[in-house]
């Protein structure tokens, strides 16, 4: 190959590499990492991206050079000289990709193995997925269940994921990993948060009509703030348990039926916002044009009969008509209408 050709090929290749690198590097394609596992995934991502940029530059240089150098010229309809291929080139374009793909596999396998490793000192969180809400319980802290995933900074966390109904998938983009929650089995995910902040927990498996709304918050806190939160939640849970025994079976049903995963209801101490706030049922009933008790009953057994403004139909399960007995339904309605003015 003549020297001038090589120089031109290298120049075009470097220009193509510079453009590809700028697109990869200067556009923020991914949210900023907030977890150690995500950093390892990012390393694999960049390892692969650099290889891709090099190959792209090589291919682009040869194509651009060939388009210009060997373009059709006026008055030249002749065929090119017949050739028989090039053994050296064929060996190179087989061996080089084999080496690169093997390297990518090894780097990925190492990152995956490291991401799966759990230090002996870690926090355990049980994650329950159901249509269409997440709940997080902390077995190390008795009675602590939350609709938010609060995590202390720099402490490894093992999530144990379960599902009550269909397949969901747990994903916090800033933590970089996805894991399915599958009915009947328990799956796991290790997270080591390294940056304070509030991030979205996203369900990333189409699980029904409320899939797009199946979100929660992951909040990474300083260890001291986390301990304070644990203490305050446990106090709330104790108070709620006392109120439940005082408030009778209705409040207990509210809890076991999972109402608090989606609804705010002060007597039960819940603060979820997927569904309407149940502390304002009188106003809702007025808007629906129905007597309060009838309105509450209908909304439990036939959730789509009236949809409060700002909310969507088909999110609340319509199974309570069959899963609750007549007596249980009465108790639940009573506790819900009790403190409404």
Stretch that binds ligand CUA, among 2-10, 57-65, 201-209, 234-242 (CB under 6 A): 201-209
Nearer to ligand CUA, 163 or 331 (CB): 163
Exposure of 41 in the CB half-sphere (CA atoms within 13 A): 18
On whether the CB atoms of residues 201 and 168 are closer than 8 A, the answer is no
Binding segment (CB under 6 A) for ligand CUA, from list 59-67, 120-128, 198-206, 276-284: 198-206
Q: Is residue 284 close enough to count as binding ligand CUA by CB under 6 A?
A: no
CA 141 to CA 12: how far, in whole Å?
Answer: 62
DSSP H stretches of helix in the chain: 3-26, 36-69, 87-116, 223-247, 249-256, 281-288, 292-301, 320-323, 326-338
Q: Smallest gap, in angstroms, from Cβ of residue 210 to ligand CUA?
A: 8
Interaction of residue 214 with ligand CUA, rule CB under 6 A:
yes
- The answer to whether the CB of 259 falls within 8 A of the CB of 288 is no
Decide: is 168 part of the binding site for ligand CUA (CB under 6 A). yes
Nearer to ligand CUA, 185 or 206 (CB): 206
Q: Is 316 exposed, middle or buried (0-12, 13-18, 19+ CB in 10 A)?
A: buried
Binding residue for ligand CUA, selected from 40, 150, 211, 263, defined by CB under 6 A? 211
Residue with tokens 């009550």: 164
H-run or E-run covering 137: strand 133-137
By CB under 6 A, name the one of 61, 144, 207, 221 that touches ligand CUA. 207
Per CB under 6 A, 136 contacts ligand CUA: no
The count of chain residues that interact with ligand CUA, using the rule CB under 6 A, is: 9
Decide if residue 216 touches ligand CUA (CB under 6 A): no
Using CB under 6 A, list all residues that contact ligand CUA: 129, 132, 168, 203, 205-207, 211, 214
């Amino acid at each position: 190959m003549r020297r001038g050709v090589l120089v031109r090929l290298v120049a075009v290749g470097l220009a193509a590499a510079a453009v590809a690198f700028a697109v990869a590097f200067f556009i923020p394609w991914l949210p900023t990492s907030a977890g150690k596992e995500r950093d390892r995934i990012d390393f694999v991502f960049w390892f692969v991206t650099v290889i891709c940029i090099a190959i792209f530059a090589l291919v682009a240089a040869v194509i651009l050079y060939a388009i210009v150098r060997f373009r059709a010229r006026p008055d030249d309809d002749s065929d090119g000289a017949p050739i028989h291929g090039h053994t050296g080139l064929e060996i190179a374009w087989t061996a080089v990709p084999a080496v690169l793909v093997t390297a990518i596999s090894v780097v990925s396998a190492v990152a995956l193995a490291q991401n799966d490793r759990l230090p002996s000192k870690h926090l355990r969180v049980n994650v329950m997925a159901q249509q269409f809400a997440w709940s997080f319980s902390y077995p190390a802290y008795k009675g602590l269940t939350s609709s938010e995933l609060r995590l202390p900074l720099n402490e490894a966390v093992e999530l144990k994921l379960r599902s009550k109904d269909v397949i969901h998938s747990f994903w916090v983009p800033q933590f970089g990993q996805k894991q399915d929650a599958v009915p009947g089995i328990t799956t796991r995910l290790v997270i080591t948060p390294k940056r304070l902040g509030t991030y979205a927990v996203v369900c990333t498996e189409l699980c029904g009509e409320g899939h797009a709304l199946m979100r929660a918050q992951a909040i990474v806190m300083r260890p001291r703030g986390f301990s304070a939160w644990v203490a305050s939640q446990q106090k709330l849970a104790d108070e709620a348990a006392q109120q439940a025994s005082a408030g009778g079976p209705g409040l207990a049903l509210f809890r076991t039926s999972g109402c608090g995963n989606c609804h705010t209801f002060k007597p039960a101490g819940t603060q979820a916002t997927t569904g309407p706030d149940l502390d304002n049922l009188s106003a809702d009933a007025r808007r629906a044009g129905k007597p309060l008790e009838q309105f509450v009953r209908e909304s439990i057994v036939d959730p789509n009969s009236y949809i409060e403004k700002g909310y969507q139909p088909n999110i609340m399960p319509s199974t309570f008509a069959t899963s609750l007995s007549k007596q249980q339904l009465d108790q639940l309605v009573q506790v819900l209408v009790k403190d409404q003015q």
